[in-house]
């Protein structure tokens, strides 16, 4: 008869085998990209650049004459975001195997030792912070605030304890355009804070839609996301309320012109109508997927448009 210890080891072996089953071989570079969550880094680079570009534009400064600031800001912000994501991977390594979208991370498969992930995270944050402080002190401080809010307030505290974790996490996600603006103009204007608000308010409907699609995985991992705790009906109402709050914000960006105002309002109304129409559908997951995809397109179009209208 097998001992309890042997049985436990056998169960653990089978669990690890199930994690590795079906996973393709990955290179060291692809593992690095997974650790830093390169998708998040790239998307935040867009909003950082937009903040920086608008600050240059409204300060009357030329882009090509300030390439040093541009590179320091984009590289520095990307590094601190990459480092923060690495630390998030380190913190969540005990639950990531329970979720389909995270079970292939190097911290789960064992391809990278945890302490190396932590060292990588702090190293990237350190280098990135130095680069940001080389632009303005304000940009460096805002960058560190973003790191603290994501790593400590979200990853280490609210994510596993409170249903408001998404809102807490939205602070760090809204920081990039502020970093970009502050790197050029440390005296943050009203427009810079409106960009922050757009990013902050955009995130709950975006992530609630994702959470609906992954509700059972979050439940298994013990993460109190809104759909898990309050159900789909409450989550859909919350998504719609956050989208409604977005509606007046383009009117605070009148300096970008009428064309932008019309486009931004159309995007907001499109998101609102898509949500209202979809609420009649019986398939909540299908509804959530459409809302999630629209949210990504919304953000990309909106921030790219902010740059384009200043070139016309």
- 119 and 259 both lie in a single domain: no
Per-residue pLDDT at 101 = 80
- 196 and 281 both lie in a single domain: yes
Residue 2 falls within a domain, yes or no? no
Chosen domain end from 140, 173, 188: 188
- 233 and 101 both lie in a single domain: no
Per-residue pLDDT at 26 = 64
Percent of all residues in the chain with a pLDDT value above 70, rounded to a whole number: 92
Chosen domain end from 135, 155, 188: 188
Residue 68 falls within a domain, yes or no? yes
- 302 and 265 both lie in a single domain: yes
Model pLDDT for residues 231-289, shown as the tens digit of each residue: 999 999 999 999 999 999 999 999 999 999 999 999 999 999 999 987 777 899 999 99
Residue 174 falls within a domain, yes or no? yes
pLDDT of residue 16 exceeding 60? no
Residue 20 falls within a domain, yes or no? no
Three-class HEC string of the chain: CCCHHHHHHHHHHHHHHHHHCCCCCCCHHHHHHHHHCHHHHHHHHHHHHHHHHHHHHHCCCCCHHHHHHHHHHHHHHHHHHHHHHHHHHHHHHHCHHHCCCCCCCHHHHCCCCHHHHHHHHHHHHHHHHHHHHCCCHHHHHHHHHHHHHHHHHHHHHHCCCCCCHHHHHHHHHHCHHHHHHHHHCCCCCHHHHHHHHHHHHHHHHHHHHHHHHCHHHHHHHCCCCHHHHHCHHHHHHHHHHHHHHHCCHHHHCHHHCHHHHHHHHHHHHHHHHHHHHHCCCCCHHHHHHHHHHHHHHHHHHHHHHHHHHCCC
Per-residue pLDDT at 281 = 75
Residue 16 falls within a domain, yes or no? no
Domain membership of residue 203 as a residue range: 189-312
Number of structural domains (the chain) is 2
Chosen domain end from 141, 156, 188: 188
- 95 and 164 both lie in a single domain: yes
Instruction: Supply the CATH number for residue 51's domain.
Output: 1.10.357.140
Residue 5 falls within a domain, yes or no? no
Residue 11 falls within a domain, yes or no? no
- 183 and 239 both lie in a single domain: no
Residue 13 falls within a domain, yes or no? no
- How far apart are alpha carbons 138 and 298 in whole angstroms? 29
- 118 and 250 both lie in a single domain: no
pLDDT of residue 153 exceeding 70? yes
């Amino acid at each position: 008869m097998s001992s309890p210890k042997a049985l436990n080891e056998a169960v653990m072996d089978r669990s690890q085998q199930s994690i590795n089953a079906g996973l393709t071989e990955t290179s060291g570079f692809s593992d690095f990209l997974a650790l830093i969550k390169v998708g998040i880094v790239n998307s935040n680079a867009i909003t950082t650049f937009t903040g920086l570009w608008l600050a240059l534009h409204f300060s009357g400064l030329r882009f090509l004459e300030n390439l040093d600031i541009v590179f320091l800001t984009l590289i520095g912000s990307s590094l601190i975001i990459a480092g923060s994501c690495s630390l998030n991977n380190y913190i969540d390594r005990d639950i990531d195997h329970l979720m389909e979208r995270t079970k292939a991370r190097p911290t789960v498969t064992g391809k990278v030792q945890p302490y190396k992930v932590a060292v990588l995270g702090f190293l990237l944050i350190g280098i990135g912070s130095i680069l940001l402080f080389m632009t303005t002190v304000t940009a460096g401080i805002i960058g560190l605030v973003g790191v603290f809010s994501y790593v400590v307030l979200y990853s280490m505290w609210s994510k596993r304890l409170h249903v408001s974790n998404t809102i807490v996490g939205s602070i760090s996600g809204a920081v990039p355009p502020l970093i970009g603006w502050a790197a050029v103009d440390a005296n943050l204007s009203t427009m810079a804070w409106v960009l922050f608000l757009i990013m902050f308010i955009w995130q709950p409907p975006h992530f609630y839609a994702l959470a609906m699609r992954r509700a059972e995985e979050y439940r298994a991992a013990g993460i109190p996301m809104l759909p898990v705790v309050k159900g789909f009906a409450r989550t859909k109402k919350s998504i719609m309320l956050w989208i409604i709050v977005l509606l007046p914000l383009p009117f605070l960006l009148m300096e970008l012109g009428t064309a932008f105002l019309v486009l931004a309002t159309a995007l907001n109304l499109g998101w609102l109508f898509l949500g209202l129409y979809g609420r009649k559908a019986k398939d909540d997951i299908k509804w959530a997927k459409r809302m999630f995809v629209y949210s990504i397109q919304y953000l990309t179009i909106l921030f790219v448009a902010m740059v384009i209208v200043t070139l016309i």
